[in-house]
Amino acid sequence: MTEHLATTPFGRRPMTLGMISSQLAAKKEKSETVIVHKWHVFQHIKEARQVLGATDRALAILHALLSFHPETALQGDSELIVWPSNEQLMARANGMPPTTLRRHLAILVDCGLIIRRDSPNGKRFARKGRGGEIEQAYGFDLAPIVARAEEYKSLAEAVQAEKKAFRVAKERLTILRRDIVKMVEAGIDEGVPADWRRFQQTYQDIAVRIPRTAPRQILESIGGEMEKLWRDIRELLESFTKTQNMDANESHSGRHIQNSNPDSHSESEEGPPKKIEAGGKVAATDNLRSLPKRELPLGIVLDACPEMRWLMKDGEIRHWRDFLAAAELARPMLGISPSAWCEAREVLGEQQAAITLAAIYQKSDQISSAGGYLRSLTERAKDGKFSVWPMVMALLRAKLDASKPPATQSGRDSAEPQKTAQGGGLQPSDQLRTPLSRWQK
């Protein structure tokens, strides 16, 4: 076989410096005895295809070209030219169209994965001697597969290392986000003194900058900010835990959760203030049993809890679904954890839990720990010792009492409702007269 081989492409295809570089690398390896497993090298090329600039279809064509070489082990000083026709290549490339085939063959050449060895007329063929040995072949030279085998292996290892680093950065960021959310919830639930709203806002400011698809460097940068926030919260919780013993924890919980004693008397829970006697528990239970069984009308609830209207964009709550949406907005403002809110909805029902939360929001300036208060009411509801009727009626009564002029004589107290009606003060609607008259007796 003659030593000279065509080095320029046939037809209008131009010659590039990249082609010359690939030919030089292949010529260098020709003088060395290098043996590689062609499918192992192909696997390395697949893993590093993005770095090399190869497409999936280009690799499908390269796989077909390698299949035309009869040997699995490719040697640097052996003949590595294959000359399949376009029809044969299309058949082995799963029926790829001719135009697509030519386009991705050019990509393989540009990436330096193969070298064109074009004949004078551009046809691919092999000329054999009398003994059947190949004297001259025109087609695609697979020499770069052998010449750059170590380079492809190094690129594949680098790509795998980058994928692993990306996966580790993503997992680290996910774990940090989960830890921060749960630690903030624990701090709120346990009543740890801290500016938890600031921590939540800082977390949101960092989390909102995470793009849907991000390179490893961005994930690591955001992960560093998350880790700093995580460390601040962790140190705060650990410091609080070390300085509290069991008795101190119970005392702390008692200071921050109002009315945590199921047997204690609360104006918002038991209705009008009344003297608690020895049989207070039985009286409270009988009082709850005597309450109306129907649901509270939305109008009465809004009269008792007008602050809920300000949470809506237009200041209007027309349906229960609007009221429930307002309750979802009020919950984080009160510092009530998702777990406490979920438990309240399970025990009280979604509508009753929303009414309870609205009452807490209405008198939030009187409650030191809204989350603890809600949990206390939820526990009482489990024992059948809590209803939203007394809570709402107490708010309505306080609203009416605030609108009355101060009484000059104690004997005129009974005449106050009539005087209020005549004096133009706050007038109870017809809808409220019946329940209010019952609670004023």
Residues 120 and 235 in one domain: no
78 belongs to a structural domain:
yes
301 CB-side CA count, 13 A: 28
231 belongs to a structural domain:
yes
Which parts of 31-75 fold into alpha helices (H)?
38-47, 49-52, 56-68
* φ, ψ for residue 125, nearest 5 deg: -165, 175
Query: In this structure, what CATH number is given to the domain that contains residue 24?
Result: 1.10.10
Q: How confident is the model at residue 191 (pLDDT cuts 50, 70, 90)?
A: confident
Q: How confident is the model at residue 107 (pLDDT cuts 50, 70, 90)?
A: very high
Residues 309 and 427 in one domain: yes
* Digit-coded pLDDT (tens) for 355-381: 999 999 998 888 888 889 999 999 999
Neighbours of 10 (CB within 10 A): 15
**Which letter does DSSP use for residue 41 in this model?**
H
* φ, ψ for residue 117, nearest 5 deg: -120, 80
Which of 193, 208, 243 delimits the end of a domain? Answer: 243
- How many structural domains is the chain composed of? 3
132 belongs to a structural domain:
yes
3-state helix, strand, coil in the chain (%, to 5): 65, 5, 30
Residues 229 and 272 in one domain: no
Residues 70 and 143 in one domain: yes
Tokens of 163: 């994928």
Reference 298, options 384, 377, 343, 358; nearest CA is 358
Which of 243, 277, 304 delimits the end of a domain? Answer: 243
Residues 235 and 275 in one domain: no
Residues 389 and 314 in one domain: yes
39 belongs to a structural domain:
yes
- In order of 59, 202, 265, 338, the CA distances from 342 in angstroms are 54, 24, 26, 6
* Digit-coded pLDDT (tens) for 151-167: 999 999 999 999 999 99
d(CA 434, CA 403): 19
Reference 229, options 170, 166, 178; nearest CA is 178
Residues 432 and 288 in one domain: yes
217 belongs to a structural domain:
yes
Which of 209, 243, 277 delimits the end of a domain? Answer: 243
Range of the domain at 50: 17-147
* Digit-coded pLDDT (tens) for 59-79: 999 999 999 988 888 887 777
251 belongs to a structural domain:
no
| Inter-axis angle of helices 149-189 and 38-47, nearest 10 | 40
- Give the per-residue pLDDT at 126: 82
Q: pLDDT at residue 424 above 70?
A: no
SS3 of 78, please? coil
Buried b (16+ CB within 10 A) or exposed e, 89-104: bbebbeebeeeebeeb
Residues 390 and 421 in one domain: yes
Averaged pLDDT score across all residues of the chain: 77
152 belongs to a structural domain:
no
Percent of the chain whose pLDDT exceeds 70: 72
* Digit-coded pLDDT (tens) for 317-353: 888 888 998 899 889 888 899 999 999 999 999 999 9
Residues 21 and 124 in one domain: yes
Residues 176 and 301 in one domain: no
Residues 35 and 140 in one domain: yes
Residues 203 and 75 in one domain: no
**Which letter does DSSP use for residue 324 in this model?**
H
- In order of 259, 263, 367, 383, the CA distances from 279 in angstroms are 19, 11, 28, 17
d(CA 44, CA 290): 80
**Cβ distance 366 to 386 under 8 Å?**
no
86 belongs to a structural domain:
yes
Element (H, E) at 159: helix 149-189
